[in-house]
Structure 1
Amino acid sequence: MESFERARLDAYFGKIGAQLAPAARPTCFMVTHLLSERPSFVQAVASVSRLRAVLPKPKSIDSAARREVERLVPCDSLSRELFGTPEAALDYLEARAAGESLVLLDVGGYFAPSLAALCERFSGSVLGVVEDTENGHRRYAGLADLACPVVSVARSPLKDPEDFLVGQSVVFSTEALLRGRGDIPSGRPALVVGFGKLGSSIARLLHAKGVHVTVFDIDPVRRAQALSQGFAVARDRETALAGAGLVLCATGALSLRGEDFPHLRNGAYVATVTSSEDELDLDGLPNVYSRADAGEHITRYQTTGHYFYLLNEGNAVNFLHGASVGPFIYLVQAEIVAGMHMLSRGDLAPGMHEVSATDRAAIAATWLNYFDR
C-alpha cells in the first residue's frame, strides 16, 4: 500500500471512529485475518478501545503486517484449543485483562464454546461479541442460551460486495493452481457445495468462464434459487461428487465428510473458501489413502484405484494470493466498529443483534466519500 493510500485509509477510519466510537472505551481482544491492509483496521480498533491482543488466524498471516501490528499490540497464537474449554479461555483472559469490561471481536466463532463460562466466571464483565463470518454466526446462534449479546455483521448488506469479491478471488486462485500444473477448469464439470452468498458468486463466475456448474445445498430454498438461475442442482451428494472434476466447498460448515471422499471422481480437485477444520473432515478419510505433493500447494490423496487432489491443504485457497477484495473490506470493518459501539453502551439483551440501518447508511456514505474516486 502506497503512503497516500494508507493516509486516506487512516483518515477514513478516523472519521468512522469519530462517528461510531464506543460510548466508553472497552477492553478488546481481536481475532482477525492479518492480511496486508489489516494494520490500519487494528489501529482503528486500538483508537476506540483498550486493545489487549490481536489473535491472527493461523492460515492468513502476512508477515509484514504482523511486524507492524506487533509494534502496537501483542500478537498471540490462536487455536481452537485456546478458547475450546472454559478453563483455557478464562486463564487467557484473566492473564491479559483481569477485572476489565471486554468486547470480543471474532472471525469464526472461536469464543463460542466457552462464552457462557466467560460471562459467568470472568473477574470482569463480557459486554459481548462482534462476529464477522457466517460460520461464526451459526456457532453463536446455535448456542442453547446466549449469555451475552452478539452483534453479527455476517449477514449485513455492507458485506455483500466483500462476499462477491471473495468468490472472485477463490476462482482466481483455484484456476492459478490448476494452471501451475498444466491444467485448467474448462472441461471439468464443477460442483459448488453451498449456494449462499459465496457459493452463488463462485457458481456464477465459473459459469461465466464456460465451466458447467452443478450446485448442491441441503437447503431446499437455495436449491430452488440455484435452479432459477440456470444451474444444475444435485439431489444427493454422492452422485454429484462422482460427476465433478472440480469441487468448491462454500458452506462455512462441514461440506465433505470422511466417507464422501471415496465418491470423488478420479483426478478431481477440491478447494474450500474457509479453513479445512470447518469444511472438510479429513480425519475421517479412510486410512488406506496416502498423500504426496503433486505441485505447489497441491496434495494428491491416493489409494488403489482412486485418487484426488486437495488445494492448499484444504484451507481457503484465495489466501495463497492475498485474498484481496480492495477497499470494500473497509465497509465491513467500519460496521465492526459500530458493533463495538453498540456493545459498549451495555444496554443490549443477550441474543443475536445487528447494526442499525441508520449506522450502515452512515458508514456507506462515509466510505463513498473516501473511496468512490
Structure 2
Amino acid sequence: MEAFERARLDAFFSRIAAHFRSEQRPASFLITHLLPERPAFVRGVASVTDLRSVLPKPKSVHAEARRQVEGDGYTCDRLTRETFSDTDRAVRYVEAHAAGRPVVLLDVGGYFTPALGELCDRFSGRILGVVEDTENGHKRYAELDKLPCPVVSVARSPLKDPEDFLVGQSVVFSTEALMRSRNDILHGRTALVIGFGKLGSSIARLLHAKGVRVTVYDIDPVRRTQALSQGFTVARDRASGLEDAGLVLCATGSLSLRCEDFPRLRNGAYVATVTSSEDELGLDGLTDVYERTQVGEYITRYLTTGHYFYLLNDGNAVNFLHGASVGPFIFLVQAEILAASSALSRGEMSPGMHEVCPADRAAIAATWLDYFNR
C-alpha cells in the first residue's frame, strides 16, 4: 500500500470514528484477519474503544501487518478455537486484560460463543455485547439457546454485499491459479458448489461464466429453488452431487464434507473451501485410509487403492493464498463494525440479535463514497 493510500485510509477511519465515537469508551477484544490493509482498521477500533488485545485468525496473519499493529502499541495474542472453548481459560483471559471494565467483543466466526454465557455471568466487569462479522458466526450466535447479551451482526448487512461478491471472485481466482499450476483448467470442468448463500451463489455464477458446468447443493430447500431459478443444476443430495464433480467448492461456513463423503469424489477431483478446514471439512480419519502427498505448492493428493483427489491449501480458505483482496469495499464493513461497537458501548441494547440501523449504514456509505469514489 502506497503512503498516500495509507493516509487516505487513516483519514477515512478517523472520520468514521469521530462520527460514531460515544462518551463511553469500553475495553475491547478484536478477532480479525490480520491482512496488509488491516492496521488502519485496528487503529479505528482503538479510536472508539480501549483496545486491550488483537487476536489474529491463525491462517491469515500477514507478518508486516502484525509488526505494524504491535509497533502501534497493541498486543497481539495467539488465537485458537480452544482459546474460548475452555470457559475457565476464557474468563481468566478477559479478567487479565480488562478486569472490572465494560467490554465489547469483536468477532469473526463465532469464537466467543462457547464461553459467552460464562463470561457474562462470571466476569468482574460487564460484557456489553458482541459484534460478529461473518455468516458462520451469525449462525453460531443465533443457535445459542439464550443469548446473555446483545449481538450486533454485520454479516447480513447490505454494505457487505460487495465484499461477498468480490470474495467469490478471489476464491475462483485462487482455485484456478492452483489448478493451472498442475496444468489443469476450469473450462469444461464439472463443479459442485456446496452452499448457495451470498458467497456460494457468487462463486457459482463466476464459475459458470468461466465455462464450468455448475451443480449446487444446499441443505436449505429455499436456496435450492433459488439456484434452480437461476439456471443451475441442483443436486438431490450431497452424495449424488459429489459423484460427478471434478471440482468441489465448499461455502457453507459449517461442515460441508464429512470423512465418509470423500470416497464419493471423482478421481482427480479438486476440493477447496472459503473458510477454515476445522469449520468446513471433516478430515479426521482420512489419513487412516488415504496416503497424503504434497504434489505442488498448497496442493495435497490423497491416494488410496483405486481412488485419489486433491485438497487445496490443506482445506483452509483458498483465497488467502493470494491476499484475499476485495479492494476498498472491505472498509464499508469495517466501518459498520465501528458503528456497532459504538452502539454497544452505550449499554442500552437488550440481549438478542441486532443490526446497525439504516441511518448509520447510510452515513457510512456516504463517507466511503467521499474517500473512495474518485
Q: What amino acid is the match of 1:168?
A: Q
**What does the per-residue CA deviation read over 1:34-57, in whole Å, with 9 as the maximum and x for residues that have no partner?**
000000000111112110110000
Residue 241 (structure 2) pairs with residue 240 (structure 1): yes
CA deviation after TM superposition for structure 1 residue 284, in Å: 4.3
Which residue does 1:228 correspond to in 2?
229
Kept in 2: contact 1:171–1:205 (CA 8 A): yes
Which residue does 1:58 correspond to in 2?
58
Whole-angstrom distance in 1 between the partners of 2:36 and 2:191: 31
Kept in 2: contact 1:22–1:340 (CA 8 A): no
Which residue does 1:34 correspond to in 2?
34
Q: What amino acid is the match of 2:193?
A: V
Aligned Cα root-mean-square deviation (Å): 0.8
SS state at 1:329 partner: helix
SS state at 2:147 partner: coil
Kept in 1: contact 2:48–2:342 (CA 8 A): no
CA deviation after TM superposition for structure 1 residue 187, in Å: 2.4
Q: How does 1:195-210 map to 2 (within 5 A)?
A: 195-210=196-211
Q: What amino acid is the match of 1:152?
A: S
**What does the per-residue CA deviation read over 1:89-125, in whole Å, with 9 as the maximum and x for residues that have no partner?**
0111111111111000000000000100000000111
Whole-angstrom distance in 2 between the partners of 1:45 and 1:225: 38
SS state at 1:200 partner: helix
Q: Identify unmatched segments of 5+ residues in structure 2.
A: none
* TM-score for both structures, normalised by structure 1: 0.99
Whole-angstrom distance in 1 between the partners of 2:188 and 2:315: 23
Residue 361 (structure 2) pairs with residue 368 (structure 1): no
Which residue does 2:320 correspond to in 1?
319
CA deviation after TM superposition for structure 1 residue 69, in Å: 0.3
Runs of 4+ residues deviating >3 angstroms: none
Kept in 2: contact 1:257–1:284 (CA 8 A): no
Whole-angstrom distance in 2 between the partners of 1:48 and 1:143: 28
Q: What amino acid is the match of 1:287?
A: D
Whole-angstrom distance in 1 between the partners of 2:289 and 2:282: 15
Which residue does 1:216 correspond to in 2?
217
Which residue does 1:123 correspond to in 2?
124
Q: What amino acid is the match of 1:282?
A: L
Kept in 2: contact 1:266–1:306 (CA 8 A): yes
Q: Identify unmatched segments of 5+ residues in structure 1.
A: none
Q: What amino acid is the match of 2:121?
A: E
Q: What amino acid is the match of 2:107?
A: D
Which residue does 2:46 correspond to in 1?
46
CA deviation after TM superposition for structure 1 residue 62, in Å: 0.5
Whole-angstrom distance in 2 between the partners of 1:111 and 1:372: 36
Which residue does 2:93 correspond to in 1?
92
Whole-angstrom distance in 2 between the partners of 1:331 and 1:284: 41
**What does the per-residue CA deviation read over 1:221-268, in whole Å, with 9 as the maximum and x for residues that have no partner?**
111111111100000111110100000000011100111111111110
Q: Percent identity?
A: 73
Report the number of matched residues: 373
Kept in 2: contact 1:23–1:341 (CA 8 A): no
